[in-house]
């Protein structure tokens, strides 16, 4: 982008899952948008993404679900495996209603991008600041190269460290006491894990393993966060593998081999950051015609695997609310109607993401062995507030 100033109707900051899904949802409603992604390529960090029934409903509305189902195996059951002193004890876990699959994150990004005009996604474009024009109250977005974009609507889908969420007044994310390692392991012949979603757990470590295809397995591991995990070591595959193997001592040999055989380029270690559930209750989420979605709105830890699904829901709801009001805006009252549409979106999403975040928070506390009080609070919260711990997958974001 080599112009110093330009005007746009709708600018989406962030070309991750939420940004691309929002652009596609708007396109399905006949609304054009511009997506700005700071990376030079589409981001695929996180390797795999567990898609539950609510997420598949949103993908169906976006028109990409059928294509994505061809890339991954349906998972019919979940198993919890307690590991103690080298011995394993299995028990079945409820699956919930509807389909469960694990997608390659890049397959999802590709499916969303293929449905968008090439000229609508701009790579290597980093937003550095945003203000409201004192004359028009419209957003003015400054890019790293000096380009100034005069927009009518800005949607912040720029992740955990969002500059847009700071602008609208959302509190900064908090650091959780655990970290997550994620990886893909490829098998030249078919793997022997079958089609189950398995959770292995000790007092300090949880490892999930599930198939993507008959030759590809996704796994994730959560453990206590250390100071080294916050250093440059978190980018070193050798360190990540060593720390993971140390954490799963006593696990079944096939799981140890799964971790050992993960390709370095398919291995990621991240600290876990989240927006506190109580902050989501009172946060504004909108300022003028600027609004947030996805992790910029409700970053949550991965303990109930709803970050991606909730972001897809955001996209569908936001596009629906905007399209209804933008039709009226052609007859006058532009900014006021846009603000009403964004407020409607916020009202519809607020309690949904609050309950998801609260359940995730309690689930994380229940795994936290650094404090007996926190662990007890997490377990009690799950029992008292979330009797049916799979009900979050029943949600339907509605029509597009």
For the beta carbon of residue 226, count every other beta carbon within 10 angstroms.
11
The pLDDT score that the predictor gives to residue 373 is 93
Residue 189 burial (CB < 10 Å; 0-12/13-18/19+)?
exposed
- Kindly state whether residue 77 falls inside one of the protein's structural domains: no
- Kindly state whether residue 333 falls inside one of the protein's structural domains: yes
Backbone dihedral angles phi then psi of residue 261, each to the nearest 5 degrees: -90, 5
The pLDDT score that the predictor gives to residue 89 is 92
- Are 138 and 50 in contact by the 8 Å Cβ rule? The answer is no
The pLDDT score that the predictor gives to residue 251 is 95
- Kindly state whether residue 94 falls inside one of the protein's structural domains: no
DSSP code, position 60: H
∠ CA 280-343-285 to the nearest 5 degrees? Answer: 35
- Residue whose C-alpha is closest to residue 35's, from 72, 1, 79, 82: 1
Reported as type and span, the H/E element at residue 245 is helix 237-247
- Kindly state whether residue 90 falls inside one of the protein's structural domains: no
pTM, two decimals, is: 0.95
Q: Phi-psi region for residue 267, left (φ > 0), alpha (ψ -120 to 50) or beta?
A: beta
Half-sphere exposure of 393 (CA within 13 A, CB side): 18
Range of the domain at 279: 8-45+105-174+275-393
- Kindly state whether residue 268 falls inside one of the protein's structural domains: no
- Kindly state whether residue 388 falls inside one of the protein's structural domains: yes
Rounded Cα gap, residues 187 and 215, in angstroms: 5
∠ CA 52-43-349 to the nearest 5 degrees? Answer: 45
* For helices 17-28 and 105-114, angle between their N-to-C axes, nearest 10 degrees: 30
- One digit per residue, pLDDT tens: the chain, 400 residues? 445 899 999 999 999 999 999 999 999 999 999 999 999 988 665 589 999 999 999 999 999 999 999 999 999 999 999 999 878 999 998 887 889 999 999 999 999 999 999 999 999 999 999 999 999 999 999 999 999 999 999 999 999 999 999 999 999 999 999 999 999 999 998 999 999 999 999 988 999 999 999 999 999 999 999 999 999 999 999 999 999 999 999 999 999 999 999 999 999 999 999 999 999 999 999 999 999 999 999 999 999 999 999 999 999 999 999 998 988 876 666 789 999 999 999 999 999 999 999 999 999 999 887 888 999 999 999 999 998 888 999 999 999 9
Q: Where are the beta strands (DSSP E) in 249-378?
A: 267-274, 286-287, 290-292
- Kindly state whether residue 260 falls inside one of the protein's structural domains: no
Q: Where are the beta strands (DSSP E) in 225-333?
A: 267-274, 286-287, 290-292
We report the CATH number of the domain holding residue 317 as 3.50.50.60
Backbone dihedral angles phi then psi of residue 132, each to the nearest 5 degrees: -100, 135
Residue with tokens 């022997």: 192
The pLDDT score that the predictor gives to residue 1 is 47
Number of domains making up the chain: 1
- Kindly state whether residue 80 falls inside one of the protein's structural domains: no
Q: How far is CA 331 from CA 221, 334, 335, in A?
A: 54, 8, 12
DSSP code, position 155: E
């Amino acid at each position: 982008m080599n112009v110093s100033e330009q005007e746009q109707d709708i600018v989406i900051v962030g070309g991750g899952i939420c940004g691309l899904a929002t652009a596609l949802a708007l396109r399905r409603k006949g609304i054009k948008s511009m997506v700005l992604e700071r990376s030079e390529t589409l981001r695929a960090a996180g390797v795999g993404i567990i898609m539950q029934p609510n997420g598949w409903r949103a993908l169906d509305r976006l028109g990409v679900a059928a294509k994505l189902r061809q890339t991954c195996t349906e998972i019919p059951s979940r198993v919890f495996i307690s590991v103690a002193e080298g011995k394993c004890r299995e028990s079945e876990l409820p699956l919930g209603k509807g389909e469960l699959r694990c997608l390659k994150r890049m397959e999802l990004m590709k499916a969303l991008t293929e449905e968008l005009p090439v000229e609508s996604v701009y790579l290597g474009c980093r937003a550095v600041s945003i203000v409201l024009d004192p004359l028009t109250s419209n957003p003015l977005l400054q890019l790293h190269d000096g380009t100034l974009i005069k927009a009518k609507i800005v949607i912040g889908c720029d992740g955990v460290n969002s500059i847009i969420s700071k602008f609208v007044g959302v509190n900064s994310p908090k650091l959780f006491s655990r970290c997550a390692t994620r990886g893909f392991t490829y098998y030249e012949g078919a793997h022997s894990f079958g089609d189950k979603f398995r959770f292995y757990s000790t007092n300090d470590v949880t490892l999930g393993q599930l198939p993507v295809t008959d030759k590809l397995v996704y796994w994730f591991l959560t453990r206590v966060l250390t100071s080294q995990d916050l250093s440059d070591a978190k980018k070193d595959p050798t360190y990540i593998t060593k720390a993971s193997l140390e954490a799963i001592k006593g696990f079944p040999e096939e799981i140890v081999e799964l971790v050992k055989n993960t390709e370095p380029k398919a291995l990621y270690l991240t600290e876990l950051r989240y927006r506190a559930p109580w902050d989501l209750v009172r946060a504004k989420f909108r300022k003028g015609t600027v609004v947030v979605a996805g992790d910029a709105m409700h970053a949550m830890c991965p303990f109930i695997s709803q970050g991606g699904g909730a972001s897809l829901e955001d996209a569908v709801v936001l596009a629906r609310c905007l399209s209804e009001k933008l039709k009226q805006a052609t007859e006058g009252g532009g900014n006021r109607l846009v603000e009403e549409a964004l407020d409607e979106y916020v009202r519809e999403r607020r309690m949904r993401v609050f309950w998801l975040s609260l359940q995730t928070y309690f689930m994380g506390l229940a795994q936290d062995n650094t404090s007996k009080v926190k662990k007890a609070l997490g377990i009690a919260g799950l029992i008292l507030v979330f009797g049916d711990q799979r009900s979050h997958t029943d949600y339907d974001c509605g029509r597009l």
